[in-house]
Structure 1
Amino acid sequence: MTLFEALGFQWDRAAVPKDIPRYSLERVSFRFHKMLPEFVWDAGVLEGNPFTFPEVKTLLDGITVGGRRISDQEQILNLVESSKLLLKLVRSGQFCLDKQTFVHLHGLVARNEALEWGHFRGEGDECNYTPDVGLGEQGRYTPLPTVKGGANLDAAFSRGLAALNDEVPDAFEKGAAFFLFGALQQFFFDGNKRTSRFMMNGVLMSHGIDAISIPAAKAQVFNEKMIRFYLKRDATEMVRFLVDCHPEARQTPEPAPGLPPAPSDSHADE
């Protein structure tokens, strides 16, 4: 099975820059810690959370914010706690691109928000509900069904992870691909994109690359591009978008009009 078959989507591998700056683990961890309020606020905006940036900073200071729904506040606090967990794992050298880390982070990201959290769909009590992703006027995207025991999702995860480890040595490309893999396969009932972005940033920081945050100002663009990703299974546009969101990555020029794209290896929410 090829890389693209294992993941369920394709992308133009030439779209990934090879000269993204790398730093020490201490340097990238410090930046992530310093940017934590912004990262949490950006992630909240992508979920439609109404908390403002000052309110997020207030929560980080341990002060509650009046006039906000408890569920909105809990979502922000979950993002804070999962960010801190990610930072701890990276700093200690314990971050690993594996199922155990994936479900551990999800247990904080989607706590009291998802139908179940901290395990794949089908591995808990709920075995009949399969979530789908709304694509607006384009309809809905439905992932693999939820089945008792979750063997189908576990097998899909194992195939995809093995392909990434075997065929994608570049950390930026691997992290970006894992984010889109998790978003497409919908391993959890909710919180898939958030958790998969944490895993992406764990891969990046573990290799000395600054973490990526999707700016709140680009939320609409992000959603539009993700819809096209779900529809076409081509991740080239999203990979370029993630490169553009990185603080120091230089974007690879798009092909000139009328010219075919650079050769690629094969076929590309919540």
Structure 2
Amino acid sequence: MDSSLQPLLEAIDADKAKLDTANPLPLHTLQSLREALMSEWTYNSNAIAGNSLTLNETKVVLDGVAVGGKLLREHFEVLNHRDAILFVEERVGSDEALSESQIRHIHDCVLKGIDDKQAGEYRTTNVTIAGASTKPADFSQLPAEMAALIAWHSSAGGMHAIVRAAQLHVRFEKIHPFADGNGRTGRLLLNLELMKGGYPPAIILHEDRLAYCAALEEACVGGNDGPLTRLVAEAAQRTLKTYLNLLGTAE
């Protein structure tokens, strides 16, 4: 791990300790935070993937109202991402170890009603990533690559949760096991790992898309995961500050 990250991780852990001390949070506080985070997480992850719905429009769709002039696919992407978050939350509350089945189910949530044939299924052709130098795994190697990913995860318990989550995201995106929806699935997977470690979700902001893509490329191609880990850590810290501000305990 990049040693320059250590002060940031220590600051995050100090904020997390404050939040842990405040638990259990009031029910109304938890509910309002959950709704806000679901909207922001869904909007930003979909926007990074090219969805044109604004944050307010995303909130409207989550409330069950259609937005005029927008593609049906974009509406599905919002509702699907919500369902994927609900699945992630269920897994966080269980002792079940990460598995290929979980990853496939997250992807199935992301693409259901959009491409049911591909939803939850590993790709059967080779692909390229637009605008990136990363070369995804050959489709014939996907079963072995995904099995290796799970094996790596099972041996990575000694890492700081944020470092482990960032590395899991990098390794998943480098494999790129699905024909579509890898980014959204990978960011959900990242947050599943963070939340199982007791941290809040790290919401990568749409306005940070270029920095995020560059950091991911540097990790996948150059082997330097420091910038991506820092970006994830700063996103998790931002969410922690949101919790602490509501509780009046942030500095």
TM-score (norm 2): 0.78
Counterpart position of 1:216: 206
Is this contact kept in 1: 2:162–2:229, CA < 8 A? no
Give the number of equivalent residue pairs. 226
Distance 1:227 1:189 in 2: 19
Counterpart position of 1:98: 99
DSSP-derived class of the 1:247 partner: helix
Is this contact kept in 1: 2:44–2:206, CA < 8 A? yes
1:19-38 aligned at under 5 Å gives the runs 20=13, 21=16, 31-38=33-40
Counterpart position of 2:138: 145
Counterpart position of 2:152: 163
DSSP-derived class of the 1:134 partner: coil
For 1:163-182, what per-residue CA distance to the aligned partner results, in whole angstroms no more than 9, with x for missing partners? Answer: 23224423222211111111
Distance 2:228 2:126 in 1: 25
Counterpart position of 1:261: none
Is this contact kept in 2: 1:86–1:95, CA < 8 A? no
Q: 1:228 aligns with which of 210, 218, 224?
A: 218
Does the C-alpha gap of structure 1 residues 159 and 183 become closer, same or farther in structure 2, counting only changes over 3 Å? same
Distance 1:158 1:60 in 2: 35
Distance 1:99 1:110 in 2: 17
User: Does residue 61 of structure 1 match 2:60?
Assistant: no
Amino acid at match of 2:46: G
Does the C-alpha gap of structure 1 residues 57 and 229 become closer, same or farther in structure 2, counting only changes over 3 Å? same
DSSP-derived class of the 2:139 partner: coil
Deviation of 1:65 after TM superposition, in Å, equals 0.8
Of 41-50 and 159-168, the range deviating more from structure 2 = 159-168
Counterpart position of 1:253: none
Distance 2:208 2:222 in 1: 21
Q: Unaligned 5+ residue runs, structure 1?
A: 1-10, 122-126, 251-270
Of 230-239 and 43-52, the range deviating more from structure 2 = 230-239
DSSP-derived class of the 2:143 partner: helix
Distance 2:138 2:24 in 1: 41
DSSP-derived class of the 2:163 partner: helix
Amino acid at match of 1:145: D
DSSP-derived class of the 1:89 partner: helix
Amino acid at match of 1:155: A
Deviation of 1:14 after TM superposition, in Å, equals 6.3
Distance 1:162 1:228 in 2: 24
Q: Unaligned 5+ residue runs, structure 2?
A: 241-251
Distance 2:48 2:147 in 1: 28
Distance 2:101 2:35 in 1: 23
1:94-133 aligned at under 5 Å gives the runs 96-111=97-112, 112-113=114-115, 116-121=118-123, 127=124, 129-133=125-129
Distance 2:163 2:200 in 1: 14
TM-score (norm 1): 0.73
Deviation of 1:141 after TM superposition, in Å, equals 3.0
Q: Please state which structure has a larger fraction of its residues in helix.
A: 2
Identity %: 18
User: Does residue 243 of structure 1 match 2:220?
Assistant: no
Of 176-185 and 214-223, the range deviating more from structure 2 = 214-223
Deviation of 1:43 after TM superposition, in Å, equals 0.8
Deviation of 1:105 after TM superposition, in Å, equals 0.6
